[in-house]
A and B are shown apart, each in its own frame.
Chain A
Amino acid sequence: MARILAEGISIEFPLYHLGARSLKKRLLAATPLRLRADAANRIVVAALRDLSFEIRRGERVALVGRNGAGKTTLLRTLAGVYEPVAGRLTVEGAVGSLIDPAAGMDPDATGRENIVLRALYRGLTAAEGQALAEEIAAFAGLGEFLDVPVRAYSAGMHVRLAFAMATAMTPQVLLMDEWFLAGDAEFMEKAQERLSRLVSDADILVLATHDMTVARAWCTRAVRLDAGRIVADGPVTEILAAE
């Protein structure tokens, strides 16, 4: 059963290039909230501070909050990119993340090669990647461009390929950043349909967004982050009532 359980997780980004002592003092004095010196006397940004929550099967969670509140960092932590410096995190279920669609794309390789590469990144075999290629190309409307280096694609084509590659999966836990909901209007209609299927097939959705309409439409629960902490957590209707 898909489930996410976080118990007091914290993430800190060390700022290694702030060596000078005076600068350190000044920074610490000016921003008492998120910058602090850790045990080894390094300056760290507390990106996530002592988060505890449980997400159960069937829940659709919107992460809301201002820029820099820690939404994307939390998504990456759930995806397994960052290891927490404190706390316990358990993620049950196959995770699929739609955080940066173009990650791992090779501009000099053709669309088809990129699709196979993405399949390998995801732990599939090259043959499975080849099998995905036609479907992805059809969806992205690449046509004859499938065997042309990605460098030669138009911006729109590039986005469509990235979107189609990233969404060619059926994860149980779906982590999504809001950029996925932006794109040219015609494509978005097709994209919406595909995303809806992905979301409804997933057991858990965690969506980081600024767009309250999207949060209301897609999610059942909202978690508001501010400066790396959870300041509100509850049904979407309650949490977003004020906006």
Chain B
Amino acid sequence: MLAPAPAAAIPVRHFDAAAPRRLARALADLGEGARRWRLAAALAWLDLRNRYRGSVLGPLWLTLSTAVMLGALGWLYAALFRMPVGEYLPWLAVSLILWNVIATAVGEACACLTGAEAVIRQLPLPHSVHALRCVMRNALVAAHNLPLIAVVFLIFGVAPGWGALLVLPGLGLIALNAFAAALLLGMLCARFRDIGPIVGSVMQIAFFVTPVIWKPELLDPRLRLLLPLNPFHAVMETVRAPLLEGGGSPWAWLAALLWTAAHGAVAFAFFARFRGRIAFWV
């Protein structure tokens, strides 16, 4: 909420190209973006509503199509991997839903600045608002899918225990990564229009090399040690392990934290350096 400014205080905007104070401006952009979260939330909500305008089920289609997908893949792959459905399907439900959250967050990150071109070139807004809008929209989509995990757990009688509370910091890490990706990929895709398709194909490969439909136990034990090097696996484990294994190893959490820190640092460095160019790129 903006406090009413005292009559004497006049907003002053000063910019000196010889001393751009990029770091301070990037931090101010992030701070102002966070203060304007209501705008980002309103835009995210309108995005979702417009996407399902005129549809009877609306965003429930998200839930329904994920449920159908889980049902189909669950029985098929349980048979292929020769695992009991009751053991495989809870794993698949958690993995696939988390993967969808991550993959859509990454995919939509690419368009988060170019999609807001009309606004960026007309209204002086903190650019982080657009990244925040993207994260919030994906959080809303996730909120339509995550409850399916509870349904699957109920059907198959999986009780995660108190360790499940660790999903909250886990989801927080995913949100942080989604925000960093929105800033970084949003800028990269605005400047280099080929990055979007590249990201798409990378995510497709990542889907197969990350344990989503297959369990890590199927890997050779030596190869399994390499899994924390996969950032998608590392971050996913912070939500999946609390639900399925009651917490997850400290190593998994360390890997996830390190990846998130590295990702955030790269995104912030890039944002600080090139923030002023965004209006020219989109």
B-contacting residues, A35-92, CB 8 Å? 76, 79-92
* Other-chain residue from A83, A90, A100 in contact with B122 (beta carbon distance below 8 A): A100
The answer to whether A103 touches B46, judged by C-beta atoms less than 8 angstroms apart, is no
Q: Which of A83, A91, A100, A123 is within 8 Å of B12, CB to CB?
A: A91
Q: Is the CB of B14 within 8 A of A89?
A: yes
Say how far A85's CB is from chain B's closest CB, in angstroms. Answer: 6
Of the listed stretches B34-42, B71-79, B152-160, B239-247, chain A binds: B34-42
- In Å, the complex CA distance between A106 and B116 comes to 12
Is residue B217 within 8 Å, beta carbon to beta carbon, of the partner chain?
no
Contacts of B12 in A (CB 8 A): 90-92
A71 to B38, CA, bound (A): 33
Q: Interface readout for A89-132 with B: 1 if CB under 8 Å, 0 if not? A: 11111110101100110101100010011001101111000000
B6 within 8 A of A: no
In the complex, which residues 176-225 of chain B have their Cβ closer than 8 Å to any Cβ of chain A? 191
One of B10, B13, B17, B118 near A86 (C-beta < 8 A): B17
Instruction: Name the CB-closest residue of B to A127.
Output: B1
Chain A hits for B15, CB < 8 A: 83-84, 88-90
Determine the distance from Cα of A46 to Cα of B17 in the docked complex, in whole angstroms: 16
* Closest chain B residue, CB of each to CB of A129: B42
**Residues of B contacting A88 with CB < 8 Å?**
14-18
- Per-position binary interface string of chain A over residues 1-26, scored 1 when its CB falls under 8 Å from any chain B CB and 0 otherwise: 11000000110011010000000000
Main secondary structure of the interface of B (DSSP, over half): mixed
Which B residues, 233 to 282, have Cβ-Cβ distances below 8 Å to chain A? 276-277, 279-280
Chain A 150-182: CB-based contact to B (< 8 A → 1; otherwise 0): 000000000000000000000010000000000
- Complex Cα distance, B15 from A90, in Å, reads 6
Q: Is the CB of B18 within 8 A of A94?
A: no
Verify if B123 is at the interface (C-beta below 8 Å from A).
yes
Q: Does B84 contact A (CB under 8 A)?
A: no
The answer to whether residues A92 and B122 also contact, given A82-B280, A108-B50, A116-B42 and a CB cut-off of 8 A, is no
Query: Given the interface contacts A81-B123, A103-B123, A109-B46, does A1 sit within 8 Å of B10 by beta carbon?
Result: yes
- Say how far B146's CB is from chain A's closest CB, in angstroms: 26
Bound: A86/B19 CA distance, A: 10
Kindly state the interface size class of chain B when it binds its partner: 20 to 34
Q: How far is the CA of A94 from the CA of B5 in the complex (A)?
A: 11
Q: Give B25 Cβ to nearest chain A Cβ, in Å.
A: 9
B28 at the interface (CB under 8 A from A): no
Number of interface residues of A (CB under 8 A): 43
Are A90 and B280 interface neighbours, CB within 8 A?
A: no
A80 & B13 in contact (Cβ 8 Å cutoff):
yes
Residues of B within 8 A of A108 (CB): 46, 49-50, 53
Asked whether A104 lies within 8 Å of B118 as measured between CB atoms, the reply is yes
A55 shortest CB reach to chain B, Å: 14
Q: Given A113-B46, A117-B42, A120-B38 in contact, is the A81-B11 Cβ separation under 8 Å?
A: no
Write the chain B residue with the least CB distance to A114. B46
Closest to A86 in B: B17
B2 interface residue (CB < 8 Å to A): yes
Using a CB-CB cutoff of 8 Å, which residues 21-68 of chain B contact chain A? 36, 38-39, 42-43, 46, 49-50, 53
A16 to B277, CA, bound (A): 13
Give A87's nearest chain B residue, CB to CB.
B17
* Chain B residues whose C-beta falls within 8 Å of the C-beta of A83 in the assembled complex: 15, 17, 20, 276-277, 279
In whole angstroms, what is the CA distance A113 to B43 when docked? Answer: 11
* Residues of B contacting A99 in the complex (Cβ-Cβ under 8 angstroms): 122
Contacts of B17 in A (CB 8 A): 9-10, 83-88
Question: Which B residues contact A (CB, under 8 angstroms)?
Answer: 1-2, 10-18, 20, 36, 38-39, 42-43, 46, 49-50, 53, 118-125, 191, 276-277, 279-280
Q: Please list the residues of chain A having a beta carbon within 8 angstroms of any beta carbon in chain B.
A: 1-2, 9-10, 13-14, 16, 76, 79-95, 97, 99-100, 103-104, 106, 108-109, 113, 116-117, 120-121, 123-126, 172
What are 5 A-to-B residue pairs whose CB atoms are below 8 Å? Answer: A83-B15, A89-B16, A91-B14, A103-B118, A120-B38
4 nearest interchain CB pairs? A103-B122, A80-B124, A83-B276, A120-B39
